[in-house]
Amino acid sequence: MNPTLSYLQELLAIASPTGYTRGVQDYLVSTLEKMGYQPVRTSKGLVHVTVPGQDDDHHRIVTAHVDTLGAMVRAVKGDGRLKLDKVGGFPWNMIEGENCTVHVAATGKTVSGTILIHQTSTHVYRDAGTAERTQDNMEVRLDAKVTNEKETRALGIEVGDFVSFDPRTTITDTGFIKSRFLDDKVSAAILLNLLRRYKEEGITLPVTTQFAFSVFEEVGHGANSSLSDKAVEYLAVDMGAMGDDQQTDEYTVSICVKDASGPYHYEFRQHLVELAKAKNIPYKLDIYPFYGSDASAAMSAGAEVKHALCGAGIESSHSYERTHVDSVAATERLVYAYLLSDLVK
């Protein structure tokens, strides 16, 4: 299998809702050490590795995030089921019917379950199909013999326990990748494969580059810290948003020109466009109207850098997502070309 897809499958198999990312951090550190790197894990949990380049007076930052959407136990109900509080931004209907895992802090064990609206049965509730899905009526049906709050609490489950969603990863014979959390584990897999190639092929980058894997992107502050003082360029590799009025598709790399934080650096994004044209990499330009990235978080924190954003086109973002291997390949080619190019002028 393509190494990038292998890394992707391994990443997707690790539960990592924002705030519960120790497992995926450990995976990154172990994988990078096996490649021959010396990764650093910051107090915040960001994992980064610096690759020396010919120009060490200026540095580049390239990021992908490995934290995902998820939930926390908000309350244990009288009937033994759980109320939830969201981690990250998604409508409740996007997770209805999804299998999930409760990560019990008190015991270190897990309890499986399913996320449902309270009035699910159409044989009992007239509004089963029409009721608004809210925090008050969405709940976890545990796969345990519990009928009341006392029995559920006896499992060790408590308010604040994290709940992860089943990714349901599938790669079809036609090249489609279906899974939750392709945002942004596709990009993390791409960066891992590039780092592998640099070691195995003896590639020296023209500019010293810090590869950063962030763990708080879904809640807004991502990789906005621990940046090199020499950094002059910051590329966030994240997902390309698809939908009405969007050019992004599942077969090209998407280059973002503007998101909810404002326009990205014009010369930087044009640099990416020219690289795509020169290397015959299929691309689309797009605006992501309700979106923020690690790069925009860094800008809000005061980073003095040129910033840009590109990524694979992801269909049905923050739901059961899909992309195609063509989009993954185009994104990897563009990031590879960028990191071998001269600094943006």
Q: Are 284 and 240 in contact (CB under 8 A)?
A: yes
Distance CA 73, CA 106 (A): 13
Distance CA 58, CA 118 (A): 56
Q: Are 256 and 314 in contact (CB under 8 A)?
A: no
Q: Active site includes 200?
A: no
Contacts of 8 (CB under 8 A, 6+ apart): 177, 185, 186, 189, 328
**Element holding 179 (H helix, E strand):** strand 176-179
Residue 116 corresponds to which tokens in the numbers above?
């449902």
Distance CA 58, CA 60 (A): 7
Could you say which of 33, 98, 132, 217 is catalytic?
217
Q: Are 18 and 202 in contact (CB under 8 A)?
A: no
Distance CA 92, CA 106 (A): 27
Q: Is 326 annotated as a binding residue?
A: no
Helices 266-278 and 325-339: crossing angle in degrees, nearest 10, is 110
Q: Are 229 and 60 in contact (CB under 8 A)?
A: no
Q: Are 227 and 211 in contact (CB under 8 A)?
A: no
Q: Is 238 annotated as a binding residue?
A: yes
Kindly state the DSSP code that residue 219 receives in the 8-state scheme.
G
Q: Are strands 53-65 and 231-237 parallel, antiparallel or unpaired?
A: parallel
Kindly state the DSSP code that residue 22 receives in the 8-state scheme.
H
Distance CA 269, CA 126 (A): 52
Q: Is 65 annotated as a binding residue?
A: yes
Q: Is 103 annotated as a binding residue?
A: no
Q: Is 218 annotated as a binding residue?
A: yes
Residues that constitute the known binding site: 65, 183, 218, 238, 318
State the binding site for Zn(2+).
65, 183, 218, 238, 318
Indicate which residues carry an active-site annotation: 217
